[in-house]
Structure 1
Amino acid sequence: MAHWKDNLLLKVINIVTFLLFTGANSYGALPPFFEPQHYTYLSPEPWIYGTWGIIHTLLIGLLFYQFTEIGYHTIIEGVGWRFPLLAILTAVYGGLSNSSSNDHTFSFVLSILAFVTILFVGATVSHIYRSIKIHHPPKTLLDTVFVHIPFSLFHGFSVVLIFVAGFAAFGVDASSHPAGLFTKAFVFIALLLLEGTAAAYVFAGRGDVVGAAVISLSLLAIFQRQSIGRSGHFIHYSALAFFIISLIAVLRATIAALSGSSRITGARATDEERAPLVG
């Protein structure tokens, strides 16, 4: 049986790093405060960055939940020291992605560093995601709400940010350069990969509707930001098409999950009705 004082150092470091490195990033990422410095042909509407606010709010619950016995096994043993590392890396990425400079070369270096950092963020959250999915499946509602949902959101959103940061580093500035053939091709491939990743979340293993949903909404945000006047019909409607496809997959998985829960509940009720009144 785990005591609340067990591995107290890690628990305290989780709290300190979250407060120091995540708090400001959480508020700064909420619309209308956040506006990315680099506008590309894959940039989404800023409202999607409100995902950070949802993630960080749920992670506050994780900081309390880690002091419980069930939370100890999931968070301390499953997530471990990767949580403070993730908080630091995310803060570094947030600082780099929000930085700008009049010097084109320095701005390019910042974009490259932001892209490299988000790759490390993605790798770290992937390790956490895999660990809790395979070795620590949710046992209670609190497990689901304070551990699995925030890291599913984090994992899905980090995939989106990798593509966004990649275009910010290597793509053309959409505010001053028209979308050429190669740009449209690369954007289409990126949108296709995002939609395919959302489908993979839904249909792979036990399914992850939350991770798929955040990618689907990101496609909607890209569609909204890439207006016809700036990006042309191709990028605008490609994003819309992939959003609709991913949304259908998310809705089908959600309906299937709800139907499965209803069948399980009904089966349990039937078994209880058939059970003898006296053992």
Structure 2
Amino acid sequence: MAHWKDHLALKVTNIITFLLFTGGSSYASLPPFFGAAHPTYLTPESWIFGTWGIIHLLLIGMLVYQFTETGYHTVVQGIGWRFPLLCLLTAVYSTLSSSYANSKTTDFVISILAFVTIAFVGATVSHIYRSIKLHHPPKNLLDTAFVHVPFSLFHGFSVVLLFVAGFSAFGVNAALHPAGIFTKIFVFIALLLLEGTAAAYVFAGHGDVVGAAVISLSILAIYNHQTIARAGEFIHYSALAFFIISLIAVLRATIAAFTGRTNVGGATDEERAPLVG
């Protein structure tokens, strides 16, 4: 039986790193450019970054939950020291993504560093996500709410941020340059990959509706921001189409989870998709 003092150093470190590195720093990626050094043709509307607030609120619950016996097995054994590392990397990404300079070369270097950092964030959260999904399935409502849901959100949102950071580093400045044919092609491919990733969350294994939903809503945020006047009809309506496709998959999986019917992948009742993995 786990005691609340077991691995106390890790539990305290989790709290300290969360307070020092996660708190307000992640919100630096909100206005004015929403996590990018300059606006691109994949920049989403700012409301999607409210996802950070939901993630952080649930993670506060995780920091309390880790002192319980069930929370000990999931948080300490399933996540371990990767959570403090994730907090640190997220803070570095937030700082880089909200840093601007008058020099075009300096901005480019910062954008590259932000892209590399969010890739490390994605890799770290993927390790956590895989560990709790495969080895620590939800045991109760608290396990679901304070561990599985926030990391499903974090995992899905990190995929979106990787694409946003990539366009910031290598794409054109939407405020200065119109979208050319290659920009339109790359935006279309990015949206296709995002929609495919959202579908994969639903179809893979037992499915993950929460992870799929945050990607689907991010595509909607891209559609909201990339208006016809701003990005042209092709990008605007491509984002709308991919949002609708991803939303249909999310809604079908959600209905299957609540009704107990077979899921969109044809699984049996025992294999139907839950809300989180």
Instruction: Give yes or no for TM over 0.5.
Output: yes
| 2:86/2:124 contact within 8 Å kept | yes
User: Is this contact kept in 1: 2:152–2:208, CA < 8 A?
Assistant: yes
- CA-CA distance at 1:244 after TM superposition: 0.3
**Retained in 1: the 8 A contact 2:48–2:217?**
yes
Task: Give the TM-score of the pair, scaled to structure 2.
Answer: 0.92
Q: Do the aligned partners of residues 223 and 63 (structure 1) sit closer, same or farther apart at CA in structure 2, a change above 3 Å counting?
A: same
Q: 1:136 maps to what in 2? A: 136
Task: Indicate the structure with greater helix content.
Answer: 1
Deviations along 1:207-265, whole A, 9 cap, x unmatched? 1000000000000000010011121100000000000000000000000000018xxxx
Q: Would you identify which runs of 4 or more consecutive aligned residues in structure 1 move more than 4 Å?
A: 26-36
Q: Distance in 1 between matches of 2:60 and 2:131?
A: 20
Note if contact 1:29-1:52 (Cα within 8 Å) is conserved in structure 2.
no
Larger Cα-atom Rg: 1
Retained in 2: the 8 A contact 1:41–1:174?
yes
Give the structure 1 partner of residue 245 of structure 2: 245
Counterpart of 1:145 in structure 2 is 145
The residue number in structure 2 matching 1:8 is 8
Alpha-carbon separation, structure 2, partners of 1:91 and 1:57: 16
Instruction: Give yes or no for contact 1:18–1:84 (8 Å, CA) kept in 2.
Output: yes
Deviations 1:2-52 (A, max 9, x none): 000000000000000000000112554567996744100000001111100
Whole-Å Cα distance in 2 between the matches of residues 36 and 195 of structure 1?
21
The equivalent of 1:203 in structure 2 is 203
For the 8 Å contact 1:31–1:47, the answer to whether it is kept is no
Q: Which amino acid aligns with 2:39?
A: Y
Superposed CA offset, 1:85-131 (max 9, x none): 00000000000000111100000000000000000000000000000
Q: Please, what TM-score do these two structures have when normalized by structure 1? A: 0.91
Residue 27 and residue 108 in structure 1: after superposition, are their counterparts in 2 closer, same or farther (change >3 A)?
closer
How many residues align structurally? 262
> How far, CA to CA, are the matches of 2:169 and 2:32 in structure 1?
24
Structure 2: gaps (5+ residues): 262-268, 270-277
CA separation of 1:167/1:29 partners in 2, compared to 1, >3 Å: closer, same or farther?
Answer: closer
Amino acid at match of 2:251: L
Q: 1:31 to 1:107 in 2, by over 3 A?
A: closer
Partner residue, 2:70: 70
- 128-137 vs 37-46, which deviates more? 37-46
Partner of 2:97: 97
Partner of 2:59: 59
Percentage of pairs with the same residue = 77
Cα separation, partners in 2 of 1:144 and 1:31, compared to 1, 3 Å: farther
SS of aligned partner of 1:79: coil
Does the residue aligned with 2:78 lie in a helix, a strand or coil?
Answer: helix
Counterpart amino acid of 2:117? T
Aligned ranges 1:175-194 → 2 under 5 Å: 175-194=175-194
Aligned-residue CA RMSD in angstroms?
1.6
In structure 2, C-alpha distance between the alignment counterparts of 1:33 and 1:160, rounded to whole Å: 15
Is contact 1:138–1:148 with CA below 8 Å preserved after alignment?
A: yes
- Partner in structure 1 of residue 274 of structure 2: none
Equivalent residues in 2 for 1:212-251 (5 A)?
Answer: 212-251=212-251
Secondary structure of the corresponding residue to residue 174 of structure 1: coil
Distance across 2 between alignment mates of 1:88 and 1:94: 10
